[in-house]
Amino acid sequence: MKKSSLEDVAKALGVSKTLVSMVLNGKATQYGISKKTEERVWKMVEEMGFKPNATARKLRTGKSNVLGLIVADISNPFYAKIARSVEDAANKKGYHMLICSSDENPKREADLISILADQHQVDGLIVSSTLDDPQMFDKLTLQKTPFLLLDREFASGLFPSVTVDNRKGAEMLVQHLLDKGVNNIGLITLSPSHLSTLKDRITGYKDALKKNKIELKDALLREVSFENLREDIIKEVDFLLSAPHKVRAIFALNNLVALYALEAIHHKGLKIPQDVALVSFDDIELFRFTSPPITAISQPLEQLGEHAMEMLFGLMNNKDKEGVENGTSTNGHRVVLPVELMVRNSCG
């Protein structure tokens, strides 16, 4: 049983495929097709179970109703949740998602962008980029591929983006620790260290210290590598908790770091928050269930998805009009969403 084509339907009715196509696209009236014929078409389409071939349609019209999403790792609950919210928002408009994981590998991400944009030519692209160099996105801009940076952006601020207030969030977290009387705070970030999220969080950390007139000790800012997370974190937790630093709190810059830090602390037989406090940027469900539950910055993941889609559709629709309108580029559109401090019991 082969699938039936437009032509099959047309032949079965003794009409042209033009006519069938017009009916299916709701242009029957516009092209003066009689009500009677239109009904015959619909009936036959139903009867033969005809479904238009999206590939053929895409080739002619340039529209596939497929969007690309590139994240570091779809199995990380943070991105999984984002993906879901993006998917839901996309579905509402009749779109589906090609989802890819870059594994924080710039080469891989560049390849994925090219595959999705140049080869598959998705209608739009959402990237939580691990790239250092914005040239891929300059290229997308030139090619007029509608795209959007999600969660992470570039320093230039030249591209459309939907992000979260990382700087403010980090400051809130550190301020919370200071309010609890903890002021010797180690920070664990991770490579690739050029990511805007990480840089902004570190800035937030410094902001808080400065506002409270606390001296910044560079030795307390530790960086672990994404490829060697677990071991590196064990090492750094050890470093921070031993003399001479004897830190009283650890600020994990994302949920993965927090998780491994938690393990490392437990493994050393230390108690949270008695021996050391632990806070995390990125709240994940897990943190409500750990012992103790971990204080973290919660990001509005559903809103990230919704805003991203809204903006991306804006870009997609403006694509044609661009240049015809005025000089106001659709670039430069940026949304920064507020975050929330979830106070739990990991800070005493």
Partner DNA sequence: AACAAAATCTAAACCGGTTTTGTTTACTTT
Partner DNA sequence: AAAGTAAACAAAACCGGTTTAGATTTTGTT
The residues binding DNA (CB under 7 A) are 5-7, 14-19, 21-22, 24-25, 31-34, 36-37, 50, 52-53, 55-57, 59-61
**Which pair of structure tokens corresponds to residue 81?**
């949740």
CB of 60 to DNA, least distance (A): 4
Residue 164's φ and ψ, nearest 5 degrees, are: -125, 155
Query: How far, in Å, CA of 199 to CA of 256, rounded?
Result: 17
Q: What number of CA atoms fall less than 13 Å from residue 46's CA on the CB side?
A: 6
Cα-based torsion angle of the residue sequence 119, 334, 187, 79 in order, rounded to the nearest 10 degrees:
-40
Position 58 contacts a copy of itself (CB under 8 A): yes
CB of 318 to a copy of itself, least distance (A): 18
Which of 32, 94 has the CB closer to DNA?
A: 32
CB of 270 to DNA, least distance (A): 60
Which of 207, 263 has the CB closer to a copy of itself?
A: 263
Position 344 contacts a copy of itself (CB under 8 A): no
Token pair 């839901």 is found at: 88
Give the other-Cβ count within 10 Å of 32's Cβ.
8
Q: Residues 15, 48, 80, 158: which binds a copy of itself (CB under 8 A)?
A: 80
Sign of the torsion angle spanned by Cα atoms 101, 102, 108, 110:
positive
Q: Do the Cβ atoms of 150 and 126 come closer than 8 Å? A: yes
Query: How far, in Å, CA of 348 to CA of 346, rounded?
Result: 6
Which of 32, 327 has the CB closer to DNA?
A: 32
**Which pair of structure tokens corresponds to residue 60?**
């002619």
- From the list DNA, a copy of itself, none, pick the one residue 142 interacts with, judged by a Cβ distance below 5 to 8 Å according to partner type: a copy of itself
Which of 35, 213 has the CB closer to DNA?
A: 35
Site for a copy of itself, residues 287 to 316, rule: CB under 8 A: 289-291
Q: Residues 66, 195, 240, 277: which binds a copy of itself (CB under 8 A)?
A: 66
Position 74 contacts a copy of itself (CB under 8 A): yes
DSSP codes joined into one string, 10-55? HHHHTS-HHHHHHHHTT-TTTTT--HHHHHHHHHHHHHHT----HH
Position 30 contacts a copy of itself (CB under 8 A): no
Position 75 contacts a copy of itself (CB under 8 A): yes
DSSP codes joined into one string, 59-86? HHHS--SEEEEEES-TTSHHHHHHHHHH
**Which pair of structure tokens corresponds to residue 103?**
């594994």
Token pair 């929330």 is found at: 340
CB of 28 to DNA, least distance (A): 8
CB of 58 to a copy of itself, least distance (A): 5
Q: Residues 16, 143, 212, 228: which binds a copy of itself (CB under 8 A)?
A: 143
Which of 5, 184 has the CB closer to DNA?
A: 5
Site for a copy of itself, residues 235 to 294, rule: CB under 8 A: 259, 262, 285-286, 289-291
CB of 337 to a copy of itself, least distance (A): 18
Q: Residues 11, 17, 24, 77: which binds a copy of itself (CB under 8 A)?
A: 77
Identify which of 103, 187, 183, 194 has the alpha carbon closest to the alpha carbon of residue 156. 194
Q: Residues 18, 39, 47, 54: which binds a copy of itself (CB under 8 A)?
A: 54
Report which DSSP code applies to 299.
P
Q: Which residues of 119-128 are buried (b: 16+ CB within 10 A; e: fewer)?
A: eebbbbbbbb
Site residues, a copy of itself (CB under 8 A): 1-3, 51-56, 58-59, 64, 66, 73-77, 80-81, 83-84, 87-88, 96-101, 114-116, 118-121, 142-143, 259, 262, 285-286, 289-291
